[in-house]
Amino acid sequence: MEDLFTQFIFLSDQAVGDKNFDPSTIQDLMKLFELESYKAWAAMELEQDNEVREAEASMREAEANLESAMDAAMDEFRRFEEELDREVKAELRGLVQISDAVWTMGKSMEKAATIASMKYIEAAMNSATASMRSAWKGISSKKIHPS
């Protein structure tokens, strides 16, 4: 392109100084400018197309990397969730076993308390009966208690 500019300057100087100058020479030079412009435009368009393809390829690669990272993160999350679920179920089973044992112990303590209260009532009744018998014996023997 610089060679064309140099030639244009040369032809311009010649057109100013020479009265026999043929203007078609400048028109031919202008056609060369036009061809050179189209070549530069085509080269830029090709370069742009190449850059677009490279950018698209980079985007696909980035998307693939992102998808891979997301898949890995989701797999890790699922494993964590499954592990946590197993731990929660194990803890629940342990708590259920403890509650069953406490319930059984409570039932045993209730039975023991019932038996103890029944024996206490029986002992109280026996004591009261013995006191009443003793009192009836005292009344029937007409003895007075020294107190």
Instruction: Collect all residues with Cβ–Cβ distance below 8 Å to 145 and sequence separation of at least 6.
Output: 138
Please give the residue that has the higher pLDDT: either 18 or 130: 130
pLDDT-derived band at 144, boundaries 50, 70, 90: low
CA distances from 44 to 32, 50, 53, 127, 130 (A): 18, 10, 14, 120, 125
CA distances from 117 to 34, 102, 105, 107 (A): 120, 22, 18, 15
Q: What is the pLDDT of residues 91-111, one digit of tens each?
A: 999 999 999 999 999 999 999
Is the pLDDT at 22 greater than 70, yes or no?
A: yes
Q: What is the pLDDT of residues 115-128, one digit of tens each?
A: 999 999 999 999 99
Using DSSP's 3-state secondary structure scheme, residue 23 falls into coil
pLDDT-derived band at 145, boundaries 50, 70, 90: low
CA angle 94–97–103, rounded 5-degree value: 140
Q: What is the mean pLDDT of the chain?
A: 89
Instruction: Collect all residues with Cβ–Cβ distance below 8 Å to 32 and sequence separation of at least 6.
Output: 4
Terminal-residue alpha carbon distance, the chain: 146
Residue 74: both structure tokens together: 């989701």
Global pTM exceeds 0.75: no
pLDDT of residue 28: 81
Residue type, 47: E
